[in-house]
Structure 1
Amino acid sequence: MSPSYRMIATRHGAVSVADSGGDGFALLMLHGSANCKEVFLPQLESPLAERYRIIAVDLLGHGHSANAEYPGKAYTLAGFAESIGDVVAALGVRRMAVFAWSLGGHVAIEMLARMPIIAGLMLTGTPPIASGPLGMLRGFQAHWDLLLASKEHFTERDIMRFHELCFGDNGGSDMIEAIARSDGRVRAIAVSGMMRGDGADQKRTIEEATVPIAMVNGEHEPIARLGYIAGLDYQTLWDDHCHVIAGAGHAPFRDRPEVFNALLNRFVSDVEAYKQPVPMVLPRSA
């Protein structure tokens, strides 16, 4: 089944959406910085799209979505969360699972802190960091190429380095074009906001989540610290452990799609069936 494509107006600008349609449980997919929704073609063009309603979006400043008129508001985690919230509301989605990658994962955690619509969240290449610069240092690996994540203007060499960081040998010309097209102001604004600690405390949000949280990363993840991710104090960690896909890098959903899609299929099925615990209310004393 081929997805349909449309533009949806949001408070921060027009967002391009791919929607597989159907009556299946909704699965929202959010891409990483300087990428686009087509990065998820191994999922959109798989049997997953026949079982679930997969919705993949281009974040503002990426792909076929508009560049923001007011980037200082739109390109923060809160701004992205607001625009994606407008999209799912326009599509009539009331309950959904989310799979989010890299920057998209940080946006999804911000959404989780704001929106009860999220019934389960799978993260890849996204360390849920505590607010502020120390949180970032603990969650991310330290090497020079990570400076690209906050660089506003890319040279041709920067584009190829960023492509290799994201995909290794599993990207391609479409992903190179997506990186070149992306609005570099996203990188500068989003990363500086995370450094300041804007938005929700992501570590606390994930550790206190009451919906299933899945962590699925590549064995050779070059950006997030896998040890940090494994050491968080999860309350609802799916499968009771963090999954690591052998031989994969930052984008295991492209590196090893057959392995990844099997995990994603099982996760969304579990989320659909999951009954969130009802908080116990103690009787008032006389």
Structure 2
Amino acid sequence: MQSFVTTSHGTLAVEQVGRGSLPLVLIHGNSTCRDVFRHQLMGRLAEHHRLIAFDLPGHGQSSDAPDPARTYTRSGLAEAVVELLERLDVTEAVVLGWSLGGHIGIEMVPRFAGMRGLMVIGTPPVARNGMADGFQRSAHMQVAGQEHLSETEIQSFVDAIFGKSAEPFMQAAVARADGRFRKTLFEAARAGSGVDQRQIVETSPTPLAVINGSDDRFVKLDYFDALAYANLWEGRCHRLAGLGHAPFWESPRDFDPILERFLLDIENDRARPC
């Protein structure tokens, strides 16, 4: 089921599939769209779970934010997602955030009392002003914060994220994304806005699953292992061999069983602090 939901951060395009008492909310990354979760939305997960995917403000079929300075920050985006869930009458959910989506999910922890569990993918939980601790320095990271992108830059950015698994809709999604989003997002992050994400994961009792591809070109994988998580699911950070920044897209066969196991643990109340 697809719909458009009006919020104070813009009109958001929402897609819902499946059934289940505890929804899974899927949050995509910078300059992409909800279609990156196509394999999950069309796969066996929907047989037993309600999945909610949407386009962030300034992305996909959603409108641009009416107030970019308010919305296009990690905290502003978290507030937009919480408002969306209120409009959908969702009071409890598990959140899956990919890349920027994971940062939004971490920002939601103190804002959304109904968060039962959080899975982050390609998302280093860095402290304020600590982006260099968790991210690789590269031209691709520079593009992620640029307002205006050439066709060559768009293609290079998509290739770095998705590799050989890239499809044409991904380039179209990056081209469509509001350039003010990228510029505002990175300026706010450099200024130290939002919560201290490292502190959140090291103190919050919310069950946290950390999943990365072993060949991710954007993040420093060893950084994840150095954190003192308060409630790390299965007691370790998971690395999927041979996969990059978007393992859920590249190999749902490898990724989806991990996600399903996490959901079952949350639903059965088996996730416990280490």
**TM-score bracket relative to the smaller structure:** over 0.9
Q: Is contact 1:167-1:250 (8 Å) kept?
A: yes
Task: Report whether the alignment pairs 1:166 with 2:161.
Answer: yes
- Alpha-carbon distance, 1:271 to partner: 1.3
Tell me how far apart the structure 2 counterparts of residues 51 and 251 of structure 1 sit (CA, whole Å): 23
Q: What is aligned with 1:92?
A: 89
CA distance in 1, matches of 2:48, 2:159: 32
Measured after TM superposition, the shift of residue 61 of structure 1 is 0.4
Alpha-carbon distance in 1 for matches of 2:264, 2:90: 17
- Pairing of 1:1-286 with structure 2 (within 5 A): 4-132=1-129, 135-274=130-269
Offset of residue 23 of structure 1: 3.3
User: SS at 2:215's partner residue?
Assistant: coil
For 2:224, the aligned partner's letter is I
Runs of 4+ in 1 over 6 A off after TM superposition: none
Question: Contact (CA 8 Å) 2:29, 2:98: kept in 1 or not?
Answer: yes
After superposition, what is the alpha-carbon deviation per residue over 1:66-101, rounded to whole angstroms, capped at 9, x for unaligned? Answer: 001110101111211111111111111111111110
Rounded to whole Å, the distance in 2 between the matches of 1:113 and 1:194 is: 18
CA contact (8 A) 1:24 1:51 kept: no
Q: Percent identity?
A: 39
Paired with 2:35 and 2:206, the residues of 1 have a C-alpha distance of 27
Ranges in structure 1 where 5+ consecutive residues have no aligned partner = 278-286
Matched with 1:282 is none
Given that 1:36 and 1:59 are in contact with CA atoms closer than 8 Å, whether structure 2 keeps it comes out as: yes
Matched residues in 2 for 1:202 and 1:114: separation?
13
TM-score, normalised to structure 2, is 0.97
TM-superposed CA distance for 1:275, in Å, is 7.1
Structure having the higher Rg: 1
Unaligned residue ranges in structure 2 (runs of 5+): none
| Separation in structure 2 between the aligned mates of residue 129 and residue 45 of structure 1, nearest angstrom | 33
- Aligned pairs, how many? 273
Find the aligned partners of 2:63 and 2:139 in 1 and give their Cα distance.
30
Query: Does the aligned pair in 1 maintain the 2:97–2:121 contact within 8 Å?
Result: yes
Determine the C-alpha separation between the residues in 1 that align with 2:14 and 2:56.
9
Question: After superposition, what is the alpha-carbon deviation per residue over 1:202-241, rounded to whole angstroms, capped at 9, x for unaligned?
Answer: 0001111201101000010111111001111012100101
* Aligned residues of 1:130 and 1:201 also touching (Cα < 8 A): yes
